[in-house]
Amino acid sequence: MSEILKRKHLFSIFLSLFVMNCALAQFAVDAGADQTICPGDNVILGGTPTASGGLAPYHYAWSAAGVLIDSIANPSVSPTDFTIYTLTVIDDTNAVIGYDAVSITISYILYVNAGAGTSFCLDGSDVIGGTDNVTGQGVTYSWSPLLGLNDSTSPRPTASPILTTKYTLTAAIAGCPPKIDTVLVTVIQPPPINAGNDITIKEGETATLHASGGFFYQWTQHFTLKYENTADPDAEPIVTTDYFLYGTDAEKRCHASDTVRVDVVPCNKVVFYNTFTPNNDGNNDTWYIGNISKYPNNRLEIYNRNGKLVYKASGYSNTWDGKTYLGDKLPAATYFYMMDLGDNAGLFHGTVTIVD
């Protein structure tokens, strides 16, 4: 080959390489523009074109969170949350690689919701609406029905209905369809607590109260009550007294209250009760005689069934706890009493039973 031909051949090779290098130097990758879409929408990734320069055909690899999702230039995706898509492109020489990334943001309305259901007692309240419901994101809020809400346009209003209510939230943002969601607010009605009818007794007598409608009870004026945490306590007022009853349902969630009056008619007559339970449980532990405090000069004697004196007291004041006057515990049995009220007020006798 002549020297001239050699030079022409070398120049041709050099020119081809120069053109190829220039083309390779122009290799560009475009993943497309960042976008915000509505929940559930599809979006096309990539540019127009997605790759240029280099040596076609191109080999595409789209991935999200390190997972390959597609291998075409312009895939269609439908992300459910904010996602960054990474694009890697290799030209046909396998020597030129390009990278780009694009982020797809879901409209903030995605995170808006009516919140979890709630329940409370009548006259209670709670905040409804999801914790992501906020102002300043371009979302407008509208709640219905209006009854029981402090602000029907608040992202998270306070609900205080008097009946169980399903609230509907309609949230709107520019460019997307409105989002509708509901939440159930359950109102637990109070138990039908009833303290019973008013009662009239004579001074010195005991009245048994009767509660109903609840499961757990607590009575006030406990200093004149026995069994105050039960439905049927014994009341021993010396003057007319109003008793307040507090009761709850079985789950102790909700409560209600009621009152009952025990009218006391003044009376000087002593009232002998025929049983007591001296077991140190705080209820009925001593023998009670109504109105005995009006006769401070009284004298009391207690005998067993064999006629043996087991207890005696002067100025008895409802303190006999079932022991002898020497301090020995007496067995459960029926005993005989003799009571002299003193001052010629009268003599009384009868039986009293100690119950285990």
Q: What is the mean pLDDT of residues 43-53?
A: 96
Residue 194 within any structural domain of the chain: no
Q: What 3-state class would DSSP assign to 200?
A: strand
Give percent of the chain above pLDDT 90: 88
**Structural domain that includes position 60:** 3-106
Residue 256 within any structural domain of the chain: yes
Closest residue by Cα to residue 221 from 201, 195, 197, 242: 242
E strand or H helix that includes residue 20: helix 3-25
Residue 193 within any structural domain of the chain: no
What is the dihedral sign for C-alpha 284, 276, 318, 274?
positive
Number of separate domains in the chain: 4
Residue 21 within any structural domain of the chain: yes
Return the structure tokens found at 122: 């009548």
Of 213, 234, 265, the position where a domain reaches its end is: 265
243 and 326, same domain (yes or no): no
- Do 288 and 318 contact (CB within 8 A), yes or no? yes
What is the dihedral sign for C-alpha 278, 280, 282, 286?
positive
Burial code (b: 16+ CB inside 10 Å, e: under 16) for 160-173 equals bbeeebebebebbb
Q: What is the mean pLDDT of residues 319-348?
A: 96
Closest residue by Cα to residue 319 from 279, 278, 348: 278
Return the structure tokens found at 242: 């109003």
Residue 280 within any structural domain of the chain: yes
Indicate the Cα dihedral angle 247, 251, 254, 260, nearest 10°. Answer: -10
223 and 173, same domain (yes or no): no
Q: Using CA atoms, how far apart are residues 187 and 165, in angstroms rounded to an integer?
A: 8
- Do 74 and 145 contact (CB within 8 A), yes or no? no
Residue type, 139: V
Q: What 3-state class would DSSP assign to 151?
A: coil
246 and 275, same domain (yes or no): no
CB count in 10 Å sphere of residue 50: 23
Closest residue by Cα to residue 185 from 99, 95, 116: 116
Q: Per residue in 110-146, pLDDT tens? A: 999 999 999 999 999 999 999 999 998 999 999 999 9
Q: Using CA atoms, how far apart are residues 283 and 279, in angstroms rounded to an integer?
A: 8
Q: What is the mean pLDDT of residues 337-353?
A: 96
Q: Per residue in 137-176, pLDDT tens? A: 999 999 999 999 999 999 999 999 999 999 999 999 999 9
Q: Using CA atoms, how far apart are residues 301 and 320, in angstroms rounded to an integer?
A: 11
Closest residue by Cα to residue 343 from 290, 294, 298, 293: 298
Confidence of residue 23 (pLDDT cuts 50, 70, 90): very low
Residue 255 within any structural domain of the chain: yes
Confidence of residue 281 (pLDDT cuts 50, 70, 90): confident
What is the dihedral sign for C-alpha 122, 125, 131, 135?
positive
Supply the pLDDT for residue 284: 85
CATH of the domain at 178: 2.60.40.10
Residue 250 within any structural domain of the chain: yes
Return the structure tokens found at 289: 């005689």
Residue type, 276: F
| pTM as predicted | 0.69
Q: Using CA atoms, how far apart are residues 44 and 28, in angstroms rounded to an integer?
A: 19
Return the structure tokens found at 72: 């075409």
Q: What angle (nearest 5°) sits at the alpha carbon of residue 37, between those of residues 43 and 75? A: 10
Supply the pLDDT for residue 283: 80
Q: What is the mean pLDDT of residues 80-96?
A: 95
Closest residue by Cα to residue 102 from 44, 53, 49, 41: 44
CATH of the domain at 303: 2.60.40
Phi and psi at residue 13, to the nearest 5°: -65, -45
Q: Using CA atoms, how far apart are residues 43 and 22, in angstroms rounded to an integer?
A: 34
Q: What 3-state class would DSSP assign to 202?
A: strand
What is the dihedral sign for C-alpha 128, 131, 133, 135?
positive
User: How far is residue 47 from each of residues 33, 44, 52, 60, 226, measured CA to CA in Å?
Assistant: 8, 9, 10, 13, 86
Phi and psi at residue 102, to the nearest 5°: -140, 140
276 and 341, same domain (yes or no): yes
Instruction: Give the CA diameter of the chain.
Output: 164
Residue 248 within any structural domain of the chain: yes
Confidence of residue 14 (pLDDT cuts 50, 70, 90): very low
